[in-house]
């Protein structure tokens, strides 16, 4: 039976904070203990002390990756917080929709629901042909969820807020109560693994808009500010930031200008 002692658990939490920028909320410690228990069993470790010893600069990369994956928060679904999404479509998209190409980044994309939702709403707003001008990048620190995003298979629960006309047109039933993204929608989105704490970000061209929703409150204040600055640097002047309505960035000293709930703009 695996053992999780408090001192080693704290060491692991500190490593997660320093390397992934994820500050474990008090209400999530039991969940993280369960996830760390699965990591211990996966690698055949008897206790948390063995795991903590691997989280050093030259430790086992596969163990470190598994810890990061276990710590990441991956609960999401299609059309989450529709009011914020609609504000982005109504206010921001008209500013750049006539370009030959526009770039949108879904940071902390989890298993891809947000990126595909953006693509679907652009199709509704602009039409399928014009919406294909969008280049949508989804990134997440967790390799397994990025793999799921690329696979593009979702349960009926994840699709609960998706209109039937959208489900019928853009998804293919596969298995019991599961749906696969059709190739023409899948082609609008690219997915990559990326750690938001690894600044500066390695993008050669700026984005017109960045979505960073439901992730900042898992970071401590210093990492929140650093992430917002790094996103600002890769967004073009006049570009847009979309956050969750449950997150506020106004007290973080950022240069982003508020426009509507969850919608900010980089000054031109």
Residue 183 has pLDDT above 70, yes or no: yes
Return the half-sphere exposure (C-beta side, CA atoms, 13 A cut-off) of residue 154.
27
* pLDDT score for 68: 72
Residue 120 has pLDDT above 60, yes or no: yes
Please work out, in degrees rounded to the nearest 5, the angle formed at the alpha carbon of residue 27 by the alpha carbons of 160 and 78.
15
**Domains within the chain, CATH numbers bracketed:** 6-71 (1.10.155.10), 82-265 (3.40.50.150)
21 closest CA partner among 210, 220, 176: 220
Across 188-192, 214-218, 248-252, the highest mean pLDDT is recorded for 188-192
Element (H, E) at 221: helix 221-233
pLDDT of 13-33, one tens digit each?
888 777 766 666 666 678 778
* pLDDT score for 77: 86
**Band (49; pLDDT cuts 50, 70, 90):** confident
Q: What is the pTM of this model?
A: 0.79
Residue 246 has pLDDT above 80, yes or no: no
Euclidean distance between CA atoms 72 and 122, whole angstroms: 28
3-state secondary structure 32-101: HHHHHHHHHHHHCCCEHHHHHHHCCCCCCHHHHHHHHHHHCCCCCCCCCCHHHHHHHHHHHHHHHCCCCC
* pLDDT score for 32: 79
pLDDT of 55-104, one tens digit each?
876 667 778 777 776 776 656 789 999 999 999 999 999 999 999 999 99
- What 3-state DSSP class applies to 133? coil
Least confident of 3-7, 83-87, 155-159, 188-192: 3-7
* pLDDT score for 36: 83
> How is residue 261 annotated by DSSP?
T
CA-CA-CA-CA torsion sign (76, 88, 151, 64): negative
Euclidean distance between CA atoms 59 and 112, whole angstroms: 30
pLDDT of 186-214, one tens digit each?
999 999 999 998 999 999 999 999 999 98
What CA dihedral angle connects 168, 172, 177 and 178, to 10 degrees?
-130
* pLDDT score for 236: 98
Kindly report the average pLDDT of the chain as a whole number. 89
* pLDDT score for 2: 57
* pLDDT score for 72: 66
Euclidean distance between CA atoms 136 and 133, whole angstroms: 10
The two beta strands, 134-140 and 189-193, are parallel
- Please give the average per-residue pLDDT across 165-183, as a whole number: 94
């Amino acid at each position: 039976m695996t053992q999780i002692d408090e001192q080693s658990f704290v060491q692991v939490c500190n490593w997660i904070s320093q390397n992934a920028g994820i500050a474990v909320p008090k209400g999530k410690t039991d969940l993280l203990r369960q996830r760390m228990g699965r990591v211990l069993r996966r690698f055949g470790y008897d206790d948390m002390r063995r795991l903590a010893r691997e989280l050093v600069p030259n430790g086992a990369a596969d163990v470190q990756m598994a810890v990061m994956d276990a710590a990441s928060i991956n609960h999401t679904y299609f059309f989450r917080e529709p009011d914020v999404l609609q504000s982005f479509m109504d206010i921001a998209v008209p500013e750049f929709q006539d370009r030959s190409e526009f770039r949108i980044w879904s940071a902390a994309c989890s298993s891809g629901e947000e990126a595909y939702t953006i693509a679907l709403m652009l199709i509704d707003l602009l039409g399928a042909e014009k919406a294909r001008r969008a280049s949508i990048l989804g990134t997440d620190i967790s390799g397994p969820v990025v793999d799921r995003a690329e696979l593009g298979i979702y349960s009926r629960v994840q699709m609960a807020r998706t209109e039937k006309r959208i489900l019928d047109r853009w998804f293919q039933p596969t298995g019991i109560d599961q749906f696969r993204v059709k190739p023409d929608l899948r082609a609008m989105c690219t997915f990559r693994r990326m750690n938001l704490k690894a600044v500066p970000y390695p993008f050669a061209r700026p984005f017109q808009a960045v979505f960073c929703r439901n992730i900042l409150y898992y970071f401590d204040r210093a990492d929140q500010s650093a992430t917002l600055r790094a996103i600002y640097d890769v967004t073009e002047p006049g570009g847009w930031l979309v956050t969750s309505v449950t997150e506020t960035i106004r007290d973080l000293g950022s240069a982003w200008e508020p426009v509507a709930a969850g919608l900010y703009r980089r000054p031109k």
